[in-house]
Structure 1
């Protein structure tokens, strides 16, 4: 029998005492409907136990620095190796972290530039010469291999007593030989008068026969010679030839000196390499003149300066009128038509007039007061650093090149371009020997990144701007590069954000981990990934307490024959979505002119209103830039997203509001939960307060709230958990010992409604609560919305900060459906099928018509073919990612898109649904 991980009696969360087998050295996919217990089995049981056992195997000394891990609720797990989890959340908030540092490629690049980089004078544009330890070592091995040489370092003794002290120091350090009169002399054997006349001489560092076996000794001797000789060294050959070397980096034309490259020079996290102006961030925060002067078409008389148009600052215009009279600046001419000299006076001031900059400098002096800081923040924005131009590094680092490129230029290339650069890189033989291992590590890691569909990213991209799926694939690529073996990798939906075209690349990466001898466990819904698995575990049959069982375990062929598994039915394509409906007609258009942010190629985009519009395309094609940075930020201005570059957006006046429903966390508060978010908890509190026992004890709805004093447990202030501050370590959350996690005081928990107290109600799933409150239509109607968006398995009291990105997005959708948003709004969704099983996609699709029926419009970024198939209008961007994307490949209805010969989206729609399209409905048969 093949070696495997045996799990018996797993009971964490909703797992129903299940047992299963996961083969070692294979790919196992855990699938099932949302809430069926997949993550509990993979992460809270399997990974948690693998990590716990690894920590337990460490020494007592090492364990004191690590948090003690609880044993998962399972009878036994046998055969589990050390475990690593690659989750879908991007935890990075630091602006210094980039794709290069997160993938470790930048660390290798820094070493590469320090080893073989060539320094160029910025003024003369010629190579700066200087001998390095590596160069001298290679030159000696090439020209004097097998022949004895003497390595010398120039030294100076000084005069009098200082000379004697210096001489004794040399002898104590082991340097008692010098090169004098064409040969080696012993300092201890020289007569006293000769020593007294000795001022400068050559110290013998080593005598050696250069061979490959002695390379490290030769390298070290030359390094010491340079250090002791102040950058100078000498070599005397067996034939008596004298060779001189100098480490001084200076331009042969202008004489400017340069420091020798070293790894820290290329680090923007080190003072040695970071740009002194921006401290290595690449951006500085300063005045945003677009916010200060929002409408430059206004004249000065129309008061165009926004910060002065407040009751407390409007008197500043009196100083402006005086300056206009003194310097003859017209007040009836639009600001944008004033001369550069006149604008300079208004912005920078002149004479007694302080100008706008002087005003902000005065405000800076008051920023110790909160309201001044708030005021200043309204008119600030990040701008590229004027010194390094967003390169993050000192000029000295940018003078070093490899094949004509500095390190910042390499970081601004896409990973696919970078792969081509290193493939075609031509370097000298000695450079190749020095950098062979570095080049291998760099090229392998770049290849891994391209392999998992990230070829459109640049190394300079900030990690915090990556989607969860992109960050997870970077972590996966790093795992591939680490060459670990006999390790358990647990991944959470790595296909998130991937176009169907790129899924096969992800599968190859997973197979790479398997071929290295690792065990791979993947929580996944993607049909192609499921089909590529060696073993499949299907959990269900339902969600929450209706799930947590093994519906099926085995290989793909056995799964396809299974009659109970919902996953099997979906893979057999018995379910292909909702019945076709007549296509909707546009009720207006929003037109974006000349969108050119990031990789968008000046495109004009027309978005029909009153319809469901899908924005599709391969990863990096420009979908997020178009929707978030152009459409959403264009309607709202700079805020959650930086406003991108475009000429104009027409038609926004046809919608009342543009609403983004994305995967960002709902909040960090431990108190926020689904019940409070959709405002059903108020109704539940009213119900408990209306009971006879509550009225007898004079309890009101506020007593059943964990957010206010009166009924909540004051030890944890209604959170149910307490935070232990660990000083230098991460804070630890523990269950409150007073209320035992129930949140309320004992007298409140005694109040029952149908034999359940308020804490027990919060522990119910949405589905259970609907049955429990079945005769209260107001409560049921709000809970029904949660069920409709596929969240029936969530418990009412589950903290929203524990929800996945997909769950957070669907909870926001439920709120808007429940509130019945007024007017005609444009809703933007960013991959709403994230985390959804194929069967759950149908449930989600049923909610969109409800919004459309109320007169709203939908714009959906999506890769899921089932959802794309139901779109009224599709805009496909591409054709590739990065610089090869940013264009409209095809737009129109489903028939138009599927007929396109080169669109990747069309190709996979045809593969999935066939080529036959049914008449007026436009749905594939």
Structure 2
């Protein structure tokens, strides 16, 4: 019966795992814990899930297998009892402009079916209600909901005349061909400031098409027709993309081209017939624009007996979205704008109500981005998946998720080479009694930080009305650590990650967006130490530094310096296989043969921050910047690791390390906004990050952390709580003050949970 009841792992050695052996119970909720980098993902995702998916893929014909994602055989002695496995990870949805929450959650097809049956007047069959089908899309924006057009105010300097260069675009600069056409056409006075022109004259200058000038200068071509500035720019730059753009043109386009909601469809993406088809006074566009919580009520109120099963299915899916804390989203929101945690919960909703059983669902920190108030909803969904006779494996740090588990596996004791062993297997109650870092954290009550620092001034954000914010005005103290709290969707990021830096540009926002560079970028390149490392190898070996760049002469010729062969399968996931020629090192034989202190460039890039700092100890700039990598809690990463293998939280802390390393070399005051900096961090790692942030504040920095983690909130000097709810129920300042006062604040959901975590009821 062992295969029926257990997933058995023997001798797992993937990444930093050290011959790990364990049994994971089936049809149970098992949580894998441990400090960041301890080997949780290596065990759950790269060993158990990857091998299960590889074995399932092997059952397909070779023609099909070649078009599926490829997984190498896991480095493990034995795996037994595996079942069909679905990975629900935190990868963001692709940047497809046609993907929305409605399409990603599979709700959009159901809504189209409802309107094709009950909408009056009917627009036709379901394609007539789809913005991704020519039958239903808006012809002006082709179903995108937005159009690019010229911002006239950014384009023109009305204090100047045409002759003085009033049109601020390189192809209309004084002396250019287009400038001569404007000046010599004499449709307006070329020496008059634009501010003095009549509305009719300005309209001609901007919008004329195919006009023959009546009294042009002799320099104007006799047979040439005049086109205004805007038609010229639209034809030359918006309706087609020029094969080559100068840097000046690229910068000017970024300044003068504005993306606005489509004026024909109002941003709904849909054609006129679909917008005119109504159910009880609302169109499918109206339904899609409502927050999920409101749409649930609208759907429940529809009385169409023939559509009852369909409406029930929609209601169940909307209930599930609300249950995972996404009730503030609307179905027309672009899926690429969702955070990793939001994207994961949308994917999770797809699996609820599935008729399949005995499936393994593997989740990566599903509580990421959730306020403590919403975690119980997530636990209910995980319980529903388990109770449908499925196996649920969760990599997680949140104490409430750990406490809800049937079984817990704790890995450690440290990160990287200091981790990779199973420290505990058993129940959450048994884990609390252990002396592991996780056990100590679970049984130690939360404590408030010391005395709050006194601010040395403040900046003001006034009358903010963006998104769901209700005319918010707030004072942000300087020289302290401020935690910005509130339920997901309350308006925290809009106010402090968007509006604060827009109005006070000295604030730098560090969020989970990946640094530029993609698969070729590494921690070494992001930190700015790669060039120094190449120079060191060049001086030591006599070769040009370009030999030690995988993107230049040193790159493997087969994989072009990527280390993997990537096959693009269009609508399927890319197929990636390790390059056989370089064995994944990314370098050619000439580069690999050259060494510094017995280490090749590939060896150096495989080291963590401490190892690389020791190898390049004579380069103070390298040692200093690598030190920041360790201080932000990423000391376990290989400095040559591809960025696309990092989690969102790891990428954010890497960007923080880069930012701090650069500011260390200047005298500028640090003003930093961090969007959920504790994502992916074990409680002990959160304490380490908090200590770093407080140290930065002691050195004069202003730190704003948009955060749910109560350990960071308790350690802050000042808290700004946004709420009280999400979406239209949020958008106001509920509380401002120290954490101790927040814990006593009536009406603050954050305060209530902080008070409970402190053991005060």
Shared fold per TM-score greater than 0.5: yes
- Quote the residue 1:875 is aligned against: 720
- Quote the residue 2:462 is aligned against: 593
Q: Distance in 1 between matches of 2:340 and 2:145?
A: 24
- Report Cα offsets for 1:805-826 as digits up to 9, x if no partner: 1111111111122221542242
Whether the 8 Å CA contact 2:497–2:675 is kept in 1: the answer is: no
- Whether 1:265 aligns to 2:128 is yes
Q: Distance in 1 between matches of 2:243 and 2:537?
A: 46
Note the 1:776-925 alignment, pairs <5 A: 779-819=622-662, 820=664, 821-915=666-760
- Report Cα offsets for 1:454-500 as digits up to 9, x if no partner: 00000111101111111110111111143432110000011111111
- Quote the residue 1:735 is aligned against: 578
Whether the 8 Å CA contact 2:632–2:653 is kept in 1: the answer is: yes
Whether the 8 Å CA contact 2:485–2:492 is kept in 1: the answer is: yes
- Quote the residue 1:509 is aligned against: 381
Q: Distance in 1 between matches of 2:181 and 2:670?
A: 40
Q: Distance in 2 between matches of 1:786 and 1:64?
A: 39
Tell me the secondary structure at the aligned position of residue 519 of structure 2.
coil
Whether the 8 Å CA contact 1:668–1:801 is kept in 2: the answer is: no
Equivalent in 77, 82, 85 of residue 83 of structure 1: 85
- Report Cα offsets for 1:95-117 as digits up to 9, x if no partner: 11111111111111111112222
Q: Distance in 2 between matches of 1:523 and 1:837?
A: 11
Note the 1:751-766 alignment, pairs <5 A: 751-766=594-609
Whether the 8 Å CA contact 2:452–2:738 is kept in 1: the answer is: no
- Report Cα offsets for 1:812-853 as digits up to 9, x if no partner: 111122221542242121111111111101121222234334
Distance 1:66 1:453, change over 3 A: same
Post-superposition shift, 1:595? 0.9
TM-score by length of 1: 0.74
Q: Distance in 2 between matches of 1:689 and 1:357?
A: 53
- Whether 1:422 aligns to 2:291 is no
Whether the 8 Å CA contact 1:670–1:719 is kept in 2: the answer is: yes
Distance 1:358 1:798, change over 3 A: closer
- Whether 1:436 aligns to 2:308 is yes
Q: Distance in 2 between matches of 1:346 and 1:700?
A: 56
Post-superposition shift, 1:684? 4.0
Note the 1:110-149 alignment, pairs <5 A: 110-119=112-121
Larger radius of gyration: 1
Tell me the secondary structure at the aligned position of residue 370 of structure 1.
coil
- Quote the residue 2:42 is aligned against: 40
Tell me the secondary structure at the aligned position of residue 509 of structure 1.
helix
Post-superposition shift, 1:441? 0.8
Whether the 8 Å CA contact 2:118–2:279 is kept in 1: the answer is: yes
Whether the 8 Å CA contact 1:89–1:471 is kept in 2: the answer is: yes
Tell me the secondary structure at the aligned position of residue 5 of structure 1.
strand
- Quote the residue 2:278 is aligned against: 401
Equivalent in 337, 344, 349 of residue 477 of structure 1: 349
Distance 1:346 1:869, change over 3 A: farther
- Report Cα offsets for 1:117-157 as digits up to 9, x if no partner: 232xxxxxxxxxxxxxxxxxxxxxxxxxxxxxxxxxxxxxx
Note the 1:18-417 alignment, pairs <5 A: 18-59=20-61, 62-63=64-65, 65-119=67-121, 261-293=124-156, 305-307=167-169, 310-312=173-175, 315=179, 319=183, 331=193, 344-345=203-204, 347-349=206-208, 352=213, 355-361=228-234, 363-364=236-237, 368-371=242-245, 374=250, 375-417=252-294
Distance 1:44 1:502, change over 3 A: same
Post-superposition shift, 1:299? 7.3
CA RMSD of aligned residues (A): 3.1
Tell me the secondary structure at the aligned position of residue 169 of structure 2.
helix
Post-superposition shift, 1:550? 0.3
Q: Distance in 2 between matches of 1:840 and 1:729?
A: 36
Q: Distance in 2 between matches of 1:402 and 1:728?
A: 34
TM-score by length of 2: 0.89
Whether the 8 Å CA contact 1:667–1:800 is kept in 2: the answer is: no
Q: Distance in 2 between matches of 1:379 and 1:109?
A: 38
Which residues of structure 1 form unaligned runs of 5+? 120-258, 635-648, 917-925
Deviates more, 1:315-324 or 1:599-608: 315-324
- Quote the residue 2:221 is aligned against: none
Equivalent in 433, 441, 453 of residue 570 of structure 1: 441
Which residues of structure 2 form unaligned runs of 5+? 214-225
Equivalent in 508, 524, 532 of residue 659 of structure 1: 508
Distance 1:612 1:323, change over 3 A: farther
Whether the 8 Å CA contact 1:789–1:844 is kept in 2: the answer is: yes
Q: Distance in 1 between matches of 2:379 and 2:102?
A: 23
Distance 1:54 1:811, change over 3 A: same
- Report Cα offsets for 1:423-481 as digits up to 9, x if no partner: 333x2xxx31x212211210100000000000000011110111111111011111114
Q: Distance in 2 between matches of 1:345 and 1:840?
A: 64
- Quote the residue 1:535 is aligned against: 407
Q: Distance in 1 between matches of 2:496 and 2:184?
A: 41
Post-superposition shift, 1:584? 2.7
Post-superposition shift, 1:604? 1.2
Whether the 8 Å CA contact 1:39–1:523 is kept in 2: the answer is: yes
Whether the 8 Å CA contact 2:51–2:74 is kept in 1: the answer is: yes
Tell me the secondary structure at the aligned position of residue 507 of structure 2.
strand
Q: Distance in 1 between matches of 2:480 and 2:48?
A: 44
Deviates more, 1:775-784 or 1:528-537: 775-784
Q: Distance in 1 between matches of 2:611 and 2:292?
A: 49
Deviates more, 1:109-118 or 1:763-772: 763-772
Post-superposition shift, 1:855? 3.4
Q: Distance in 2 between matches of 1:541 and 1:10?
A: 17
Q: Distance in 2 between matches of 1:460 and 1:747?
A: 53
Whether the 8 Å CA contact 1:877–1:887 is kept in 2: the answer is: yes
- Quote the residue 1:673 is aligned against: 522
